[in-house]
Amino acid sequence: MSQTEITVLDKGFVRLVDAMGSDLSVVNAARVSFGKRKETFEEGDKKLIKYLATHEHTSPFRHAYVQFHVKAPIFVFRQWMKHQVGCSWNEISGRYVEFADEEYFVPATFRQQAKVNKQGSEGEIEEGNREAAMKAYLDACRESVAQYKKMLELGVCREQARCVLPLGLYSEVYWTTSLQAVAHFIRLRSESHAQWEIQEYAHAVRSLIEDRFSASLSALLDSDVG
The residues annotated as belonging to the active site are: 189
C-beta of residue 32 within 8 angstroms of C-beta of residue 145: no
182 forms beta bridges with none
Rounded-to-10 torsion of CA 72, 78, 80, 84: 130
Of 200, 181, 184, 182, residue with least CA distance to 192: 200
Amino acid, single-letter form, for residue 9:
L
Amino acid, single-letter form, for residue 29:
A
Distance CA(25)–CA(164), nearest Å, equals 46
Distance CA(213)–CA(120), nearest Å, equals 32
Question: What DSSP element (H or E) covers 97?
Answer: none
Distance CA(152)–CA(140), nearest Å, equals 19
